Amino acid sequence: MWDEHDASPTPDHFAVDSLWVNEPFDPGLFASPASRGQSVAWLKTKGIARIPFRYGTRHVWIKVSVNGAPPADFLLDTGAGMTMIDRSYAEKLGLVPDEPLAVEGMGGADAGSLSKLSSLRIGSAATDGVAMQDLKVGLVDFGEEVEAVMWRHMAGLIGYDVLERFVVEVDYDNQVVTLRDPRRSPTKAVVSPWTCVSSAASHS
C-alpha cells in the first residue's frame, strides 16, 4: 500500500478502489504553473534575437542569467514543459523553494519544488538576447549522473513555458538560435510532410 508519509516520489505499489474511463476533465489540471511575467524585453532588436549556442552531447547549450547572476550553461529543451533549475545551483543563487512539484524526465521521477525568479535573461545584454521577469520555474536535483553524461554541469534547462512565447529557429550549421516575436514573424512557410515509421520520423 502507498504510504502518504513516504518521501519516495514513486511508490512500489498502491491500491485503487475505483476507476473512471473517458470522463471529461479540465486540461488545465496538467498545465504548467502560470507565471505573471508575460512580456519580453528584446535586448538588441525589437522582435528578434540571435543567440549563439554550443552543440555538444547532442544537445543545444545556451548561456542564461538568473536574477542578474553571471551566465551559466542551460539546455534548450523543447521536450520539457517547464523551465527547470538545478537545486544546487539555485541554492548558490539564494532561490527560495515554494510549493512542492512532482517531476519526471530522462533521469526518472523526482520530487522538486517551485520558485519565482525576478529575472531570466537568455543570451547577452552586451550583444543580443531576450529577458523576462517574474517567472515561476521548477527546482530539481539534476545530480552528478546528468553531469557525467553531459560532460559539464547543467545549471538548468529552458522549457516550453518560455519557448512558447517565440518562433524558434535553430541553425545547427552556424550554431545560432533565433527567437522571433510571433506577431512579427514572416507569414510565408513551406509545408514539409513527414511519415512516422517504427516510431521514427522520415522526410517524404
In a structure prediction context, what are the per-residue pLDDT tens digits for the chain, which is 204 residues long? 445 555 555 556 667 888 888 888 777 666 555 544 458 999 999 999 999 998 877 789 899 999 999 999 999 988 888 899 998 899 999 988 887 676 665 555 667 778 899 999 999 878 899 999 999 998 888 766 665 566 567 889 999 999 999 999 999 999 999 999 988 766 566 666 766 665 554 454
Q: How far apart are CA 28 and CA 148, in angstroms?
A: 36
Domain of residue 86, residue span: 33-185
- Is 169 part of a structural domain of the chain? yes
- Is 42 part of a structural domain of the chain? yes
End-to-end CA distance of the chain: 50
Q: How far apart are CA 80 and CA 64, in angstroms?
A: 16
- Residue 138's identity, in one-letter code, is G
Domain count, the chain: 1
pLDDT on residue 36 = 45
- Is 194 part of a structural domain of the chain? no
Q: How far apart are CA 157 and CA 76, in angstroms?
A: 6
- Is 144 part of a structural domain of the chain? yes
pLDDT on residue 1 = 46
pLDDT on residue 67 = 94
- Is 139 part of a structural domain of the chain? yes
- Is 163 part of a structural domain of the chain? yes
- Is 14 part of a structural domain of the chain? no
| DSSP conformation class of 107 | T
pLDDT on residue 201 = 47
pLDDT on residue 12 = 64
| DSSP conformation class of 45 | B
Residue 113 pairs in a beta bridge with 100, 139
Residue 174: which CATH number? Answer: 2.40.70.10
- Residues with Cβ < 8 Å from 147, sequence gap 6 or more? 153, 154
- Residue 23's identity, in one-letter code, is E
- Is 173 part of a structural domain of the chain? yes
Please state, in angstroms and as integers, the Cα–Cα distance from residue 55 to each residue in 63, 83, 133, 173, following that order.
12, 19, 27, 10
Residue 143 pairs in a beta bridge with none
pLDDT on residue 9 = 55
